[in-house]
Amino acid sequence: MMTIASGPVEVSERASRVGDWPPGLVIGYGSIGRRHAETLGRRCRSLAIVNRRPEVRARASADHPHAWVAPDLESLDARGFPWADAMAVIATWGPSHAAFFHALADRGVRRILCEKPMADSVAAAAEMLERARRDGIVLGVNQVLRHTGLVPALRALAAEHGVGEPVQVVVRGGASCLVTNGVHWVDAAIQLFGAAPERVVSTAGGEAINPRDATLRFYGGTAVWSFARGREAVLSLSNHSSVFPTVTIYYRDAAADVALVPAADGDVAWHVVLRRRDPELVQRWPAVTRTGAADEVVHAGPLSGTLGFAAALAAAPADVAGDGAPAVSGDVGLAAVHAVIGALAGGRDRIAITLPIPLHSRHAIEPWPIS
């Protein structure tokens, strides 16, 4: 069983120690790449942006008039980009992550933040992690919920009200994709339970409705990841519904409904409603089969100690800007890739997938059109 650290991600202190960041490079200038470019543009000594599409490069040049904007890495080679001193963010689609990682490593880049999913196959993600260890590369993966501090804050709330350990995570709703958004919630479950899942079964299926590109798939269906001691993460997302997903975390005698709500600063903030069963009824009928409504609200409101999405996204590059080990490392990204690709393979082949997936198996080697 693969164990994953569940403690809080301390990036703000790390960022303050970094100070003046090294030269920055952002590969990909889509919705997330633009946000990373804003952060690096403020904190790095210089900035380069790579995107293959001319109209996107024109926008990048307008947004960052002092940046080097190029169609590919070779163009930066010709301009003498300081690879060995740079930090890079890979913000392209999943199928290109591994190739860009190795191209950067070949050029001597030693600080790399990769967007999720870490790669489009388990084998490719494992090779990235192995090379990072071998070459001394600081490799972080932007599993952004970790940067929000959501799980440590939920643990603190549960401890405050004495509801014990979580036993199940349930995410249900419309077309949010078991990979594109689901990978964040699977990783949150891994962090909540303190270990990676041991098995997954699913009905996952992909459709050509991915708004990023027609070649990518958007995966709907239901996936159930089994963890030790009978714990589960359940994601049920329908490609036939446009309803935003709801998230509920179950405890022995309580449940927490987790949501993102608009914040005054224009970002979003975590809002949690923690409900528990009447303690007197639980004491009177202690058997777990004597179920009852969790209708006593013990907390309803903001979740203290957390960051919103924009603030967490800005914190992610700080995780690799220094020379130490990143808090959200390649190990975290690889565990999430095992989990979601296991769900896709299990849904297609109609079998249960044991996790982690053996690295030389066909399910590990096979690439998937995921973002």
Average pLDDT over residues 155-183: 98
- Residue (of 336, 121, 335, 346) closest to 223 by Cα position: 346
Q: CA 228, CA 238: separation in Å to the nearest integer?
A: 27
Going by their DSSP bridges, the two strands 24-27 and 87-90 should be labelled as: parallel
Backbone dihedral region of 344: left (phi > 0), alpha (psi from -120 to 50 degrees) or beta?
alpha
Share of residues in the chain with pLDDT > 70 (%): 95
Q: CA 201, CA 189: separation in Å to the nearest integer?
A: 16
Q: CA 290, CA 302: separation in Å to the nearest integer?
A: 31
C-beta of residue 296 within 8 angstroms of C-beta of residue 276: yes
- Residue (of 72, 31, 21) closest to 49 by Cα position: 72
3-class DSSP assignment, residue 173: strand
Share of the chain residues as helix, strand and coil, in percent rounded to the nearest 5: 40, 25, 35
Going by their DSSP bridges, the two strands 138-142 and 68-70 should be labelled as: unpaired
346's enclosing H/E stretch is helix 330-349
Tens of pLDDT along 2-54? 334 434 444 444 444 444 899 999 999 999 999 999 999 999 999 999 999 99
**Sequence-ordered list of residues with C-beta below 8 angstroms from that of 3, at least 6 positions apart, any chain:** 194, 195, 196
Q: CA 74, CA 340: separation in Å to the nearest integer?
A: 33
Angle (nearest 5°) at CA 38 between 37 and 39 = 90
Tens of pLDDT along 197-237? 999 999 999 999 999 888 999 999 999 999 999 999 999 99
HEC assignment per residue over 178-238 = HHHHHHHHHHHHHHHHCECCCEEEECCEEECCCCCCCCCCEEEEEEEEECHHHCEEEEEEC
Q: What pLDDT is attached to residue 237?
A: 98
301's enclosing H/E stretch is strand 296-302
Give the relative orientation of helices 330-349 and 182-193 as an angle to the nearest 10 degrees.
120
Quote the pTM value: 0.93
* Torsion angles phi and psi, residue 186, rounded to 5: -65, -40
* Torsion angles phi and psi, residue 256, rounded to 5: -120, 120
The model's confidence at residue 323, banded by pLDDT at 50, 70 and 90, is confident
3-class DSSP assignment, residue 255: strand
Average pLDDT, the chain: 94
The count of other CB atoms within 10 Å of the CB of residue 191 is 25
Q: CA 197, CA 353: separation in Å to the nearest integer?
A: 11
Tens of pLDDT along 49-76? 999 999 999 999 999 999 999 999 999 9
